[in-house]
Amino acid sequence: MQEQYETVAREGVHETEVNRSRFICALAPVATEAEAQDFIARVRKEHPAASHHCTAYVIGADGAIQKGDDDGEPGGTAGLPMLQMLLRREVRNVVAVVTRYFGGTKLGAGGLIRAYGGAVGAALDAVGTVTRQRFRLLTVTVDHQRAGKVENDLRATGRSVRGVRYGAEVDIDVALPEPELPAFRAWLADVTAGSARVELGGETYGSG
């Protein structure tokens, strides 16, 4: 599994113009194909009079799902160059929609390929990207006497505390990079005199 991947920092829109045709590229971070399709549908509603809504998305930290759609443009001139730009920039879990308003001048196959791919590249530059790190989720169980210090120390050392639950004991949900697990276990044993328990959970991606 990928230790990290790049994705777009946020939803964003960037417009370019080629021979009076407007190319409006909307980008969004997505985790599933369903989310990508929902975003595509939303953009279509926002521009009902546009000539084309060409799309591309890459889903999965390893890029397992890759799709592009020309939406009526000549085959291979829109969706594919958009997808290739996403892959060239090595972004994942991202959807791109390029909405075109035809300006009256035909661009030809080469011109379309450059325009659609270029629109995505310019939008990526404008919106920006972030790195998502793979984290292991785990639960630290500790007695009430030590819980406050453990939680404070976790936060002070920059570790990601996802939640705290109080019962007979205190459960603290933590996320940290997998390679840090051995050092974390040693640190925890030291600060709790070996009394804390660690239960490993699933995995997630995040910025920390």
pLDDT at res. 208: 47
Spatial neighbors of 36 by CB under 8 A, at least 6 apart, are 30, 55, 57, 59, 95
Q: Which residue has the tokens 């113009």?
A: 17
The overall average pLDDT reported for the chain is 92
Q: For residue range 115-152, list pLDDT tens digits in order.
A: 999 999 999 999 999 988 888 899 999 999 999 999 99
pLDDT at res. 50: 94
Give the CA-trace dihedral at 70, 75, 77, 83, to 10 degrees.
60
Above 90 in pLDDT, residue 167?
yes
Q: Which fold has domain 132-206?
A: Alpha-Beta Plaits (3.30.70)
Decide if 4-127 and 132-206 have a common fold: no
* CATH 1.10.3720.10 holds for 4-127: no
**Domain boundaries in the chain?**
4-127, 132-206
pLDDT at res. 70: 96
- What CA–CA distance (Å, rounded) separates 189 from 194? 4
Q: pTM of the entire structure?
A: 0.73
